[in-house]
Structure 1
Amino acid sequence: MSKENKTPPSSILENKGILAGISFIAGILLLVGILYATGILGGSAAVPPEECGRTVISYVNANLVGNSTATLVSVTEKDGVYHVAARYEGKDLVFFSTKDCTYLFSTARNMKTTPTPTPVPATTVPPVKSARPSVELFAMAFCPYGVQAENAMKPVAELLGTKADIKVRYIVSINGDSVDAVKSLHGISEAKEDLRQICVAKNYPQKYWSYITELNAQCYPIYKNATQLESCQKNITESLGIDNRQIETCALGSEGLALLRADEAITKTLRVTGSPTLILNGQIYSGQRTPEAYKQAICNHFETPPAECSVNLSAQAVAASSGSC
């Protein structure tokens, strides 16, 4: 048989392109081989196994290998084709040939069985690093999953708040210039509380995390009762030394609305719809919702992690790893 018009590769392992090409038509050749071998297509008479084996090895050495040579080990007939066992550079190989020794292929597939899919390894995206990571937790004031995520983030904010920009952003839709134009998933009470919280963050940043975690613990369970909620909100602000009148003025006026519009714009730009959603330096976080997991994720985004990253926070889950509003 004539050689292919190609420079022989150095080894079978390095000649994956040829073998891959052979493998690609293996299924068709197997069928053709069986039909030829059984005479259905009028193929040539079967060549004796040992003779075909020597022909296969001769072809392999002439066309598929370079410096070394393959040696014949054995030839067996199975399912209408020859299985030619060979040895090359200490490795065992098997080739397949039609019984008339006309077609050679490297892979035989049993079409009566379902092949096991090759697992695709998960793609790990490297974290985007910066000197001061941006940490944005998107939430709704009365979303149960958002409340849990905020509670998990509080100790992280207390630990890394001076090293990273950690913010809660509110998921709303604003279609006018008044509080009534603010739409939030859990109704007007949530919309107003979103405004209150963003005003506390603006005017009392050092007390913000204490405010929302206290409100989550005491007021969230009763948020559907407007009278009880208002009384609870006042108690929280009073206990923390926050001027409730100042917060109300901000929340019900243009200042609060402007702050919330800014969050709405960012939410739309990033296409965030679920509460909670955590975005670190522009990358969506999808891991566990625990203080330690949040801390570690943020620390992975530092160019040089600060000493605080070595502090171990509680790994106890305070929020489910899945679920959102």
Structure 2
Amino acid sequence: MMMTAEEGKSQVEKKEGVGEAKIKIPKWIILIGVIAILGVLAYFLYLYLTPSVTGGAVLGRVEGAIITYLYHPNCPPEYCNVSQLRSWSEEFGVNFHSYFAEWMQGHVALLYSNDKVWIVDFSSKKNFADTICKAIGSENACRFVEENLNKTSVVNVDLFVMSYCPFGIAMENAIYPVKNLLKDKLRVRPYFILYPSCSSNDGCETREVNGINVTLWAMHGNQELYENKRQACIYKYLGENVWWEYVYCFNQNKNADTCLQRLGINVNVINACIENEGFFFLQKDQEACASYNAWGSPTVFVNGDLYTGERTPEGFKNFVCRYFIERPSECAQRLSSTSSAPSGQC
């Protein structure tokens, strides 16, 4: 029987007769400690960053654009590459400052301009430039992004979702009109997110595959595990277009039987696939999740680039249309700018 680290520790202490000493700390001491930490942080922001951070905006205006990079003093240079970030900042016309922060567990870069603040994606130079381009419209940064896009005649989208995740459903609802607009110029491949260990029995399935136990766990329980299999089978045997029509129908009413009947899908064929092949289709999807490090629903890649824009048809269309070698005329058509759900992930 497996047990958690805490349960194991408890068992050892019982066997060895180790007693547990509990020290009750008065609430007022904890409160003073929290206030002290916030005070130190506020002083740091006042002294070094000028404005005070308030989420997506800052109190006070920052002239020009400044990137502040905070990292732990012991962070390895190959991981916290200050000189590289400084070089990129200079290239894209942004001031750069770096500071040691012993309280940091990792590192973070913040871009300040006027009364706004953005978290900078510095996982690659293109992502770094893309953040600056979107935030402040730097000509050099925007040009670099445009010159380094992987442009194709057919744009490929890798869509990582959970069939019962409201955020994933909102993303599918945003992509669906774009697919209908661009048709075969846009190719979408769905992947269903299944975790390799179970947090509960609900939604958990383990099978032996080539002598190795493979576990799939669906966050939203058995209904999601089964629905993931069904959608994987529809995509495999009936293709992307039928899958889209089914998904759009299912997302509206969660009634699979109604959607299958409405689309004239052979239920017996799909059920046989679910029983005999569904697990193995999802195993391949799980491997893709690990390869892309895509464990949150939704996670979307467009020609290999992570999509972080608005979850609206218009926002997604504009992003996709950047990746065409020759921009289709359909890209000029305006779609809805309304999102069906706030940003977030399951």
Normalising TM by the smaller chain, what interval? 0.5 to 0.7
Structure 1 residues 264 and 116: alpha-carbon distance in aligned structure 2, compared to 1, 3 A threshold:
closer
Q: Percent identity?
A: 30
RMSD, matched Cα: 2.2
Q: Aligned equivalents of 1:182 and 1:268: distance in 2?
A: 13
Is residue 253 of structure 1 aligned with residue 284 of structure 2? no
The alignment partner of 1:165 has SS state of: strand
- Conserved 8 A contact 2:162-2:193: yes
**In structure 2, how many angstroms separate the alpha carbons of the residues matched to 1:188 and 1:119?**
49
Contact 2:170 2:339 (8 Å CA) reproduced = no
1:2-17 to structure 2, matched below 5 A, reads none
Determine the C-alpha separation between the residues in 1 that align with 2:259 and 2:187: 25
Q: Rg: which structure is higher? A: 1
Of 165, 168, 180, the match for 2:187 = 165
Q: 1:124 aligns with which of 112, 126, 129?
A: 129
Superposed CA deviations along residues 245-264 of structure 1, whole A, max 9, x for unmatched, are 1111111112x333222221
Unpaired segments of 5 or more residues in structure 2? 1-45, 51-64, 68-93, 95-110, 112-127, 131-144, 197-205
Structure 1 segment 281-292 matched on structure 2, within 5 A: 281-292=303-314
Q: 1:177 to 1:152 in 2, by over 3 A?
A: farther
Q: Structure 1 116/269 Cα, relative in aligned 2: closer, same or farther at 3 Å?
A: closer
**What are the residue-to-residue correspondences of 1:78-117 with 2, within 5 Å?**
114-116=47-49
1:279 alignment partner, SS class = strand
Shift of 1:134: 1.7
Letter in 1 for 2:233: C
Q: How far is 1:159 from its partner?
A: 1.7
Return the offset for 1:173.
3.5
Q: State the distance in 1 between where 2:208 and 2:259 align.
A: 28
Q: Give the C-alpha shift of residue 133 in structure 1.
A: 2.1
Residue type at the aligned position of 1:217: Q
Q: Alignment length, in residue pairs?
A: 198
The answer as to 2:88 corresponding to 1:155 is no
Aligned structure 1 segments of 4 or more residues deviating by more than 4 angstroms: 115-118
For CA contacts below 8 A with separation 6 or more, give which structure has more relative contact order.
1
The answer to whether the 8 A contact 2:194-2:286 is kept is yes
Question: What secondary structure sits across from 1:275 in the alignment?
Answer: coil
Name the structure 2 match of 1:264.
Answer: 286
Partner of residue 248 from structure 2, selected from 184, 188, 213 = 213
Q: Among residues 234, 237, 242, which one is paired with 2:265 in the alignment?
A: 242
Partner of 2:301: 279
Q: Which residue of 2 aligns with 1:295?
A: 317
Q: Give me the TM-score of the superposition, normalised by structure 1.
A: 0.57
Provide Cα deviations, 1:95-129, integer angstroms capped at 9, x if missing partner: xxxxxxxxxxxxxxxxxx93555622453232332
| Amino acid across the alignment from 2:207 | G
Report the CA distance shift for 1:299/1:176 in structure 2 as closer, same or farther (over 3 A).
same
**Could you report, residue by residue, the CA deviation over 1:35-82 in whole angstroms, capped at 9, with x for unpaired residues?**
xxxxxxxxxxxxxxxxxxxxxxxxxxxxxxxxxxxxxxxxxxxxxxxx
Q: Deviations over 1:224-269 (max 9, x none)?
A: xxxxxxxx32221011111111111111112x33322222111110
| Distance (Å, rounded) in 2 between the aligned partners of 1:130 and 1:202 | 24
Residue matched to 2:327: 305
C-alpha separation in 2, matches of 1:143 and 1:115: 41
Aligned counterparts of 1:301 and 1:158: Cα–Cα separation in 2: 17
Distance 1:283 1:245, change over 3 A: same
- Normalized against structure 2, the TM-score is what? 0.53
Q: CA deviation at 1:181?
A: 4.8
The residue type equivalent to 1:248 in the other structure is N
Give the structure with the larger strand fraction. Answer: 2
8 Å Cα contact 2:216-2:283 kept in structure 1? no
CA distance in 1, matches of 2:245, 2:302: 22
Q: Which amino acid aligns with 2:273?
A: C
> In structure 2, how many angstroms separate the alpha carbons of the residues matched to 1:139 and 1:237?
20
| Contact kept in structure 1, 2:154 and 2:184, CA below 8 Å | no
177 and 210 in structure 1: CA distance in 2 versus 1, 3 angstrom threshold: farther
> C-alpha distance in 2, partners of 1:213/1:281?
23
